[in-house]
Every structure is written in structure tokens, then in C-alpha cells.
């Protein structure tokens, strides 16, 4: 009777019987060119990656869920003019506090987390693709600070981070679209308090029925431009500035690292915010009779009708969201250090 073979060409029975006593070096195994101790180390590395990835997901879920109410308020303020056009809002919001109170009063406190499930789910493919592509692009821009100079090294970081973010966006854009539509799905002012969507799956069904696959990708081009700016600064500036500023007594300083991380996140968010507004306003037209013809047309119409300031609506709430998310992550990081002896980063965005 023939024996089943493992992927390494060894009998499965041999691998299983050796597992309990890894690492193992035997004359027979070495003669076959297989060192089971190396196989064991490889297995541990793979398991470590899985643990890091899953714990990073937990970290992201904690941060995103904690900041979800302010995230929804940001999206409501940002897209209120499109909601007024479609009759899903009866009057403008007077600010962050008024938006909070009106939403909680009309829809209930739990409604502040509407769209958060899609946002949390989005983390896993986004982060996996981001860092997979980031390493690929980083090898294409393999500049060394000492050899090539600070400017070229920093430009390489910006290029690799931006390209990685833009590439990964192609795969997860529909989830971001669904999150945006759910978060902006206030109870209709014209239809007796009805919602447009019943949940994540319903967003996909209704959008595909009215607009096809193109409806799920409306606003994709300004998203690519925005992701290059945001991710480029997020990955590039932090990686580039940290070794320059956080030296000496500031190296490893918790408050200094937190301040730098928040400053980079905030700066990247403000720089890319007009593009974020344009893309989300374009998303909001899927399923509607009147749509923008493209990125430039959307920007022109929004600025002509509402002024340049409208491109920054919700920016204040976005900054608060960054503070809330960073604060929760910092506390969570410290808890992980106490419990596990290390911290798992959950990313952002």
C-alpha cells in the first residue's frame, strides 16, 4: 500500500510522528535534504503572521467601533447637500453637536454606529493588500537615506505607500461605497421616516439593480487620487520623519510617538479631504436620476453652488475622529503590552 506524501515529498506519517518532538535532526531526514527544525521555524513564522494579522484586526475593530459615532456625523455633515437634493434630509445640520443630537433623537443612539460593520470588515482585505503591495512597491523604490539622500528616500516612501493604497483600493472600493451609503442613510424626510437600505447586502442589490457594477465604483478616480495623497503621507511621512525627530530622549517616548502619529494622520486627512468630499458626493448619486459626469464636473458644480468651503464640510469632525481613534488605539496598545508583551497595529483608514 502506498503512503500519502506531504507537500515536502515526505510521508505524512513521518511528518506527524516527528511533530511532537520538533526540532528534530536525523541522518535520514538530512540525507533527504529536509531539516524539520527549519520546517518548524517556518510554521511558527506563518502562525505568527496569522496572529499578528488577526490581532491587528481586533485592534482596528476596537478603534473603528469607538470612533464610529463621530465618523457617521462626519459623513452626514460632509454629504448633507446631496441628501437635501434627494429629500433624505429636511434641513441642514448646524454643526457637530446638533448633528449628534438630531440623529440620536430621530433614529436612536444605536444608529450612530450605522455602517460600522462594513467599515470593520473592510479592514482585513485592505490591510492585507496594503502591506503586501507596499513591500512590492517599496522594492521598486529601494532608496537608502545614507546612500541616496533624505529627499529621494522620502519620495520613495511616499511613492510606495501611495501606490500600495491605490492598488488595494481597487479590491475593496465597493465596501467603502456601501459603508458611505449606509452611514448617510438618514430616515427620509419625504417618505415618512423610511430608510433607503435595509443593510449591507441590500446596498449591493439595489445599486446593482439600478446602476450595475459601475454604481459600486462611482467616485473611484478621485478616490485613487485621494488615496495616493493620504496613504502616501500616512506611510511615507511617518516612516520618514520618525527617525529624524524621535531621537535621543524622544526615542520610544509614548507621548511623542502619539503626537507625531496624530499630526501625520491629521495633515494627510486635511490634504486629501476635498478629494474625499468629491468622491463621497459622487457615491451618493448612485441610484439617483441626476449624476455628476466625472471628478472635474463634480468639483465644478459643488464649488459653483456651495463655495470652496463645502469641500471641507465635516473636516472638524474628521479631526476629532482621528483623536478618538488614536486615543483608543494607544490605550489598547498599552493593554496588549501588559497582556501579551507586544502590541499589534491595526492600521487606519
Q: Tell me: the pLDDT tens digits for 255-285?
A: 888 788 778 888 888 999 999 999 999 999 9
Mean pLDDT for the chain? 81
Q: What is the pLDDT of residues 75-94, one digit of tens each?
A: 999 999 999 998 889 899 99
Tell me how far apart the alpha carbons of residues 206 and 208 are, in angstroms, rounded to a whole number.
Answer: 6
Residue of 196 and 332 predicted with greater confidence: 196
DSSP state string for 29-65: HHHTT--HHHHHHHHHHHHHHHHHHHHHHHHHHHHHH
pLDDT value for 275: 96
Separation in Å, CA 65 to CA 28, 29, 119, 120, 310: 54, 50, 9, 8, 27
pLDDT band at 11 (very low <50, low <70, confident <90, very high): very low
Spatial separation of the C-alpha atoms in residues 183 and 195, rounded to whole Å: 11
**Residue among 113, 123, 118 at smallest CA distance from 56:** 123
For residues 253 and 246, the answer to whether their CB atoms sit within 8 Å is: yes
Q: Kindly state the average pLDDT of the residues 307-331.
A: 83
| Full set of structural domains in the chain with CATH | 52-340 (1.50.40.10)
Can you give the pTM of this predicted structure? 0.74
Confidence (pLDDT) at 280 = 97
Rounded Cα–Cα distance for residues 236 and 188 (Å): 42
pLDDT, tens digit, 9 for 90 and up, residues 183-231: 999 886 666 678 899 999 999 999 999 999 999 999 999 998 887 788 7
Tell me the mean pLDDT in the region 131-153.
80
Contact in structure between 122 and 182 (CB atoms under 8 Å): no
Give the pLDDT confidence score for residue 18 in this predicted structure.
43
Per-residue pLDDT at 17: 43
Least confident of 14-28, 256-270, 319-333: 14-28
For residue 326, the model assigns a pLDDT of 66
- In order of 55, 113, 313, 327, the CA distances from 316 in angstroms are 30, 19, 8, 17
Confidence grade of residue 19 (pLDDT, cut at 50, 70, 90): very low
Amino acid at each position: 500500500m502506498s503512503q500519502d506524501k506531504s507537500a515536502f515529498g515526505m510521508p505524512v506519517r513521518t511528518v506527524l510522528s516527528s511533530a511532537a518532538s520538533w526540532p528534530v535532526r536525523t541522518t535520514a531526514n538530512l540525507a533527504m535534504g529536509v531539516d524539520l527544525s527549519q520546517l518548524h521555524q517556518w510554521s511558527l513564522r506563518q502562525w505568527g503572521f496569522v496572529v499578528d494579522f488577526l490581532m491587528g484586526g481586533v485592534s482596528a475593530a476596537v478603534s473603528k467601533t469607538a470612533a464610529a459615532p463621530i465618523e457617521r456625523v462626519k459623513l452626514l455633515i460632509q454629504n448633507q447637500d446631496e441628501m437635501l437634493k434627494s429629500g433624505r434630509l429636511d434641513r441642514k445640520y448646524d454643526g457637530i453637536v446638533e448633528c449628534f443630537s438630531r440623529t440620536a433623537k430621530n433614529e436612536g443612539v444605536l444608529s450612530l454606529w450605522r455602517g460600522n460593520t462594513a467599515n470593520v470588515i473592510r479592514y482585513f482585505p485592505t490591510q492585507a493588500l496594503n502591506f503586501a503591495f507596499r513591500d512590492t512597491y517599496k522594492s521598486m523604490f529601494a532608496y537608502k537615506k545614507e546612500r541616496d539622500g533624505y529627499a529621494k528616500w522620502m519620495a520613495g516612501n511616499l511613492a510606495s505607500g501611495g501606490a500600495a493604497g491605490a492598488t488595494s483600493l481597487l479590491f475593496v472600493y465597493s465596501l467603502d461605497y456601501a459603508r458611505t451609503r449606509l452611514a448617510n442613510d438618514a430616515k427620509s424626510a419625504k417618505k415618512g421616516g423610511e430608510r433607503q437600505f435595509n443593510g449591507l447586502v441590500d446596498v449591493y442589490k439595489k445599486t446593482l439593480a439600478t446602476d450595475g457594477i459601475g454604481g459600486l465604483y462611482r467616485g473611484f478616480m478621485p478616490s485613487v487620487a485621494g488615496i495616493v495623497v493620504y496613504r502616501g503621507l500616512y506611510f511615507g511621512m511617518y516612516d520618514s520623519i520618525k527617525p529624524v525627530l524621535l531621537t535621543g530622549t524622544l526615542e520610544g517616548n509614548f507621548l511623542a510617538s502619539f503626537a507625531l502619529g496624530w499630526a501625520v494622520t491629521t495633515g494627510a486627512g486635511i490634504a486629501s479631504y476635498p478629494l474625499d468630499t468629491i468622491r463621497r458626493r459622487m457615491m451618493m448619486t448612485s441610484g439617483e436620476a441626476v449624476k455628476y459626469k466625472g471628478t472635474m464636473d463634480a468639483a465644478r458644480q459643488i464649488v459653483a453652488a456651495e463655495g470652496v468651503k463645502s469641500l471641507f464640510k465635516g473636516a472638524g469632525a474628521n479631526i476629532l475622529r482621528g483623536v478618538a481613534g488614536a486615543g483608543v488605539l494607544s490605550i489598547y496598545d498599552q493593554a496588549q503590552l501588559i497582556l501579551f508583551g507586544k502590541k499589534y497595529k491595526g492600521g487606519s483608514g
